[in-house]
Amino acid sequence: MNTDLISLDGTPASALAFGTMQFGGRANAAQSAAMYDACRTAGITHFDTAWVYTDGASEEILGQLIRDERDSLLIATKVAYIGGAGPENIRRQLDQSRTRLGQDMVDILYLHRYDEEMDLRETLACLAELRAAGQFRYLGLSNFAAWQVMKAIQIGQEFDLRPAILQPMYSLIKRQAEVEILPMCADQDIAVAPYSPLGGGMLTGKYAADPTDGGSRGRLDEDPRYRERYGQRWMLDSASALSGLAAELGVAPASLAVAWAAGYGQRVTPIISARTLAQLRPSLAALDIEMTPALYDRISALSPRPAPATDRLEEQA
């Protein structure tokens, strides 16, 4: 089984992906274009958006930027974060996404989250029809638990439809995916595009001290959801330790954080993102870091490793 992701002209997926959640929101059109150009210069071919991002502006801006080189790129979008995973909603949102992007099809179509109220068989039957109609090439799943992915694999066999890529949250301070999700993907030959490898910005080191002017340092100051997600003291301690290691090595903490996330496995492609070109550059610099086993272990030791998925920990050697 070979499920390596390639673009329409056969270009392989890049080592990093770029997430365009900020396009048309915190990043205006000019800032978005500058970041896109920097990503392309760095060799990034994989761009990620969603129907729900910035009321559609993200897809519209990305669609304009990719027009001259579409066939060399992997373009991913997502449906059913809101409105449920019923066929009517999926079709409507994908139609709108394709219109915004200016494309007949997308390479990767994600179910943005698992819908407990919807029969997964009906959802997958609809997606199989859309793929057969040429509206997308690869099925992706986002924010799915391991058992939900395996359920999709089992039911999808009825429609010759198999998830090709999974998008979980994963960073040095959010390592739960190591318990079941990442091993499952390796076993099932599913690519992984983890989001938030910088831990909402905490792993850049910019939250080490309070701003002297009382202003915002980023989403952890602005968004209550992010403050709750990354609000534990040990996370700040881990970020501080990463900054110390980065200073020792003469690199940016963000570069180490992204390179570490990518270092989990060969088919792990972290999704980097930013609001400005200056903010993006340290993440792009992760491509230049040699993540040796020794360095990977040093970074891993800076945060708690999640417990294995067993209740017999005392019996393990």
Q: From CA 259, how far away is CA 46, in angstroms rounded?
A: 17
> CA–CA distance from 310 to each of 146, 307, 314 (Å)?
15, 8, 10
- Helix spans in 230-285 (H): 233-249, 253-262, 277-284
Q: Is 53 a catalytic residue?
A: yes
* DSSP per position, 189-206: T-EE--B-TTGGGGGGTT
Q: From CA 292, how far away is CA 263, in angstroms rounded?
A: 9
DSSP element (H, E) containing 111 = strand 106-111
Q: Which of 53, 81, 170, 226 is catalytic?
A: 53
- Max CA distance (Å), the chain: 59
- Residue 105 structure tokens: 């099809």
Apex 126 CA angle, 121 and 132, nearest 5: 125
Q: How many other C-beta atoms lie within 10 A of the C-beta of residue 292?
A: 10
Q: From CA 171, how far away is CA 183, in angstroms rounded?
A: 16
Phi and psi, residue 240, nearest 5°:
-65, -40
Contacts of 75 (CB under 8 A, 6+ apart): 47, 49, 62, 66, 101, 103, 106, 107, 108
Residue positions annotated with a catalytic role:
53
